[in-house]
Amino acid sequence: MSEETVETIMAYLSLYALNIVYALLIFLVGKWIVNYISKGLRRVMEARKIDAVLITFLSSLLYYILMVVVVLAAVSKLGVQTTSFIAILGAAGLAVGLALQGSLANFAAGVLIILFRPFKIGDFVEAGGTAGIVEEIGILITVMRTPDNKKILMPNSAIMGGTITNFSANPTRRVDMVFGVSYSDNIDKVKEVLRDIIAKDPRVLPEPACQIVVSKLNDSSVDFIVRPWVNASDYWGVFF
């Protein structure tokens, strides 16, 4: 083997060896930066008291996305064309997105529920056409228990796609009750009896004041509307 050939081989080896070293450095430094960013995101979300499930999912998702970028950068330093890899990843991502379109919509809605907190576990809400107590808030579904003890698993997209009524959001609620009396009854006496009943119930709050008024004149009865204010936990007891 001639001296020129040996020098050529050594030049190629030194060139590729240097590229391998650079690729390893890119990978190691990139991995350290990715870990730092991922842990930083986790700390920020924990400080804001975001749901633990969402913290784990988002930090892991960010970690793997950034690691793909680091690996592609390291591989490209070795002289490998990464354009085809990026195209394959893009096509695969599009295919997965189309296949999981419904699940992705539920996931996005779950993220919004956890971030904006329109309700929390234990709240009595009406959402997606169902009323019940929230027992579990997941990434894809929310579990509710109806007043007659049925378990409802509702997709998050159905919840966020409509109106959400949270009956437990505020500490107090107004109880709206209607009582019908005869036209022959003494209207003032009816008001007096209703005020006496309300005044003797310790669950009724003094403020705001209870409203007792005639609301409707029916064909065979006079309707009184009675609207006392109570603590949210006493609503149904007072109502019934």
* Residue 112 is assigned to a structural domain of this protein: no
CA dihedral of 140, 101, 130, 230, whole degrees rounded to 10: 60
Band the pLDDT of 129: cuts 50, 70, 90: confident
> Nearest to residue 122, comparing CAs of 131, 114, 134?
134
* Residue 143 is assigned to a structural domain of this protein: yes
Provide the domain count of the chain: 3
What is the extent of the structural domain holding 59? 3-99
The pLDDT value recorded for residue 40 is 86
159 and 180 part of one domain: no
CB atoms < 10 A from the CB of 188, how many? 8
Reply yes or no on whether the pLDDT at 96 is more than 60.
Answer: no
177 and 155 part of one domain: no
60 and 134 part of one domain: no
CATH of the domain at 94: 1.10.287.1260
pLDDT in tens, 155-168: 888 888 888 899 88
The pLDDT value recorded for residue 173 is 92
153 and 190 part of one domain: no
The pLDDT value recorded for residue 5 is 65
The chain-wide mean pLDDT, for the chain, equals 81
Reply yes or no on whether the pLDDT at 92 is more than 70.
Answer: no
The SS3 call for residue 181 is strand
146 and 202 part of one domain: no
CATH of the domain at 149: 2.30.30.60
The pLDDT value recorded for residue 205 is 92
Encoded tokens for 51 = 């749901």
155 and 208 part of one domain: no
Tell me the percentage of the chain whose pLDDT exceeds 90.
Answer: 14
* Residue 107 is assigned to a structural domain of this protein: no
Burial class for 164, CB neighbours closer than 10 Å (0-12, 13-18, 19+)? middle
* Residue 110 is assigned to a structural domain of this protein: no
How much is the pTM?
Answer: 0.58
pLDDT in tens, 132-156: 999 888 778 888 999 889 998 988 8
